[in-house]
């Protein structure tokens, strides 16, 4: 036992005594809650049409996909809506919130050759790899996170970027 160990219980008790009035008054707990967690009310977010992809709407949940840093968006695919082959410069992490999301790989658009990702499922889009995805018979909602800046680069059937 060293000299510091003898003072430890007293130091802990003094710290608790100093914080107790703040906790009891609610001052500390309210400030801590606001700084610790931000709750996003999904009913208050604005859904917008996804440019160039009729039948898809999206909303930014957190961050800004066009800037450096972490972002999270949600996208809704109307039934029978799929994206054409494309790629993204960043890794994208996708969680299916509603429905079955279908995803395929490569520059040849082939909805019959897609893999289902059901509600609660998770997928990772590797950066710069060509893929396509969307909904078949039902509305699908996915949540996508990544580190921006984000982008969607459409490709031709031979895999070259569309201009």
Contact at 8 Å (CB) between 139 and 77? yes
Is residue 149 domain-shared with residue 74, that is, in the same domain? yes
What is the number of domains present in the chain? Answer: 2
Q: What span, in angstroms and rounded, lies between the C-alpha atoms of 151 and 113?
A: 25
* Cα separation, 52 vs 54, whole angstroms: 6
* 24 and 47 inside one domain: no
Indicate if 117 and 91 belong to the same structural domain: yes
Whole-angstrom distance, CA of residue 53 vs CA of residue 18: 58
Do the Cβ atoms of 134 and 50 come closer than 8 Å? no
Same domain, 55 and 10: no
Does 159 map to a domain? no
Question: What pairs with residue 60 in β-bridges?
Answer: 73
134: exposed, middle or buried (C-beta count within 10 Å: 0-12, 13-18, 19+)?
A: buried
Examine the domain organization and report whether 129 and 75 are in the same domain. yes
Q: How far apart are CA 90 and CA 13, in angstroms?
A: 50
- The answer to whether residues 32 and 47 belong to one domain is no
Same-domain status, 78 and 135:
yes
Same domain? 75 vs 7: no
Domain that holds residue 22: 3-36
pTM here?
Answer: 0.76
Per-residue pLDDT for the chain (163 aa), expressed as one digit of tens each? 555 455 445 444 444 444 444 444 444 445 555 678 888 888 899 999 998 899 999 999 999 999 999 999 999 999 999 999 999 999 999 999 999 999 999 999 999 999 999 999 999 999 999 999 999 999 999 999 999 999 999 999 999 999 7
| Same-domain check for residues 139 and 101 | yes
Domain-embedded: residue 163: no
Distance CA 105, CA 113 (A): 9
Torsion of CA 83, 72, 146, 85, to 10 degrees: 0
């Amino acid at each position: 036992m060293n000299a510091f160990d003898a003072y430890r219980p007293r130091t802990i008790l003094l710290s608790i005594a100093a914080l107790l009035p703040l906790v009891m008054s609610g001052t500390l707990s309210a400030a801590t809650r606001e700084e610790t967690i931000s709750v996003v009310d999904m009913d208050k977010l604005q859904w917008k049409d996804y440019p160039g992809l009729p039948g898809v709407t999206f909303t930014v949940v957190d961050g800004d996909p066009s800037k450096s840093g972490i972002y999270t968006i949600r996208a809704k695919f109307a039934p029978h809506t799929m994206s054409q082959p494309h790629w993204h410069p960043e890794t994208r992490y996708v969680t299916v919130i509603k429905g079955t999301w279908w995803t395929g790989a490569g520059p040849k658009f082939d909805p019959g050759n897609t893999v289902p990702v059901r509600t609660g499922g998770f997928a990772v889009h590797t950066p710069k790899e060509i893929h396509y995805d969307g909904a078949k018979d039902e509305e699908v909602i996915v949540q996508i996170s990544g580190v921006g800046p984000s982008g969607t680069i459409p490709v031709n059937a031979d895999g070259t970027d569309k201009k």
